[in-house]
Chain A
């Protein structure tokens, strides 16, 4: 547990939060590792957790009729994975599998919700950090959608 706490304290995500806050969050977290090729979760499965990637690469894929299983985005060291635990229907929207060996911190979604309710300030500080990541990722996805490298005649 204290190992998780030390790891979290060193992560850029938690910069600016008090040690007390980080300790509280650490209680909902544990260190996990996955082998290359393993599937972390599948689309439609119950969403109860979230991951902060420490090492390795994770591919997010969608299964489609036309293209089979297609990687839509990959996540890497320092990226957060999974917010579907926050909102109904609490189901994953894509598959997540490991492109390499992965080490991560796994957070218990319902436990995080509980501590946020008990300590609104902590809840706000976490939400503010989550939304910053989401906004940045959304902007990156917009650029990805723009098809910027194509030729225009």
Chain B
């Protein structure tokens, strides 16, 4: 035994911890929120982070944490059922166990937003990794100037966390703007892409910070609109998504240029992205 790696083997990095499911709530047709008992008493996470959830014998997927960072008694994760693993996860019942590894990844930089206007722009299920930052900001409200949540969904029936958004609307310290791509006959609100809401909000383009999450094409378009409004790329945060298998920088799938999105992301500034979001198939 002559060659010694600098790092000791860390079996825990790849080993899912069994955690008990506390509740499973259906939010939309294919979207559910799981509440899970944390793996240990030292559990905590930052807004924007995710865990790798393991369905015994089926597989593992990265899922954003969508709950309140101040509540360490449970892990709240919102899952969209899109394949075998997520189908298995949303089919679990309270009392069942799910494997948890994490939390992993970078977080929304609320420190950088202190003393400034904050724009939170969510598209579709992208509101799930942004909900923790809304909680965080509201709990420390005096640290920020104007705070605006802009949320775009496919249709009124696809609005996630609808009742919570209603509650937030009644607050005077938070501006909530919601739009849909396709209205139904009862909808009386804005109709159009989420960036159309940007013009309705007042923010200081020279100093505001924006946190954006949603499908990549929506984020690209939102970045353009916000940059036209004066927000420079070091104040524009996005949550990027790529195929992830390990969450720790080992399997190589999540690479975006030189970054491993599992650990250098998923939250990145547009300055870090340095225009790579415009390069075809990077």
**Chain A residues close to B by CB (< 8 Å):** 57, 59, 67-79, 99, 139-141, 143-144, 146-153
Q: Across the interface, name the chain B residue whose C-beta is closest to A59.
A: B191
- Please pick, from A144, A146, A153, the residue contacting B82 in the complex, using a CB distance under 8 A: A153
**Chain B residues close to A by CB (< 8 Å):** 30, 80, 82-83, 123-125, 152-154, 158, 179, 181, 183, 185, 187-193, 195-197, 199-200, 214-215, 217-218, 221
Max chain A CB contacts within 10 Å: which of B82, B123, B124, B193? B193
- Contact flag A150-B154 (CB < 8 Å), given A59-B191, A139-B221: yes
Given contacts A72-B183, A147-B181, 12 further A-B contacts (CB under 8 A): A71-B187, A73-B196, A75-B196, A76-B199, A99-B189, A140-B196, A141-B193, A146-B217, A148-B124, A149-B154, A149-B214, A152-B82
Q: Across the interface, name the chain A residue whose C-beta is closest to B160.
A: A149
B158-A149 in contact (CB<8A) = yes
B200-A77 in contact (CB<8A) = yes
A144-B181 in contact (CB<8A) = yes
B181-A99 in contact (CB<8A) = no
A151-B192 in contact (CB<8A) = no
- Please pick, from A68, A70, A140, A149, the residue contacting B192 in the complex, using a CB distance under 8 A: A140
A67-B185 in contact (CB<8A) = yes
A70–B197 Cα distance when bound, in Å, is: 20
A99-B188 in contact (CB<8A) = yes
Question: Which A residues are CB-close (under 8 A) to B192?
Answer: 73-74, 140-141, 144
B221-A74 in contact (CB<8A) = no
B154 CB, min distance to chain A CBs, angstroms: 4
A-B contact pairs, 22 of them (CB 8 A): A68-B185, A69-B185, A73-B191, A73-B196, A76-B190, A76-B196, A78-B199, A139-B221, A140-B195, A141-B192, A143-B193, A143-B218, A144-B181, A144-B192, A147-B181, A148-B181, A149-B123, A149-B124, A149-B125, A149-B181, A152-B82, A153-B82
Question: Which A residues are CB-close (under 8 A) to B154?
Answer: 147, 149-150
B66 CB, min distance to chain A CBs, angstroms: 16
A67–B80 Cα distance when bound, in Å, is: 29
A74-B185 in contact (CB<8A) = no
- Please pick, from A59, A78, A149, A153, the residue contacting B215 in the complex, using a CB distance under 8 A: A149
Q: Across the interface, name the chain B residue whose C-beta is closest to A60.
A: B191
A140-B158 in contact (CB<8A) = no
A71-B199 in contact (CB<8A) = no
A55 CB, min distance to chain B CBs, angstroms: 10
- Please pick, from A69, A75, A144, A152, the residue contacting B193 in the complex, using a CB distance under 8 A: A144
A71–B166 Cα distance when bound, in Å, is: 22
- Contact flag A70-B218 (CB < 8 Å), given A140-B196, A149-B153, A151-B30: no
A148–B194 Cα distance when bound, in Å, is: 11
A148–B216 Cα distance when bound, in Å, is: 9
A71-B191 in contact (CB<8A) = yes
Question: Which A residues are CB-close (under 8 A) to B200?
Answer: 57, 76-77
A140-B221 in contact (CB<8A) = yes
Max chain A CB contacts within 10 Å: which of B83, B187, B191? B191
A149–B245 Cα distance when bound, in Å, is: 23
Which 3 residue pairs across A and B have the least CB separation, nearest first? Answer: A149-B124, A148-B215, A71-B183
Question: Which B residues are CB-close (under 8 A) to A152?
Answer: 82
Question: Which A residues are CB-close (under 8 A) to B191?
Answer: 59, 71-74
A21–B121 Cα distance when bound, in Å, is: 37
A53 CB, min distance to chain B CBs, angstroms: 10
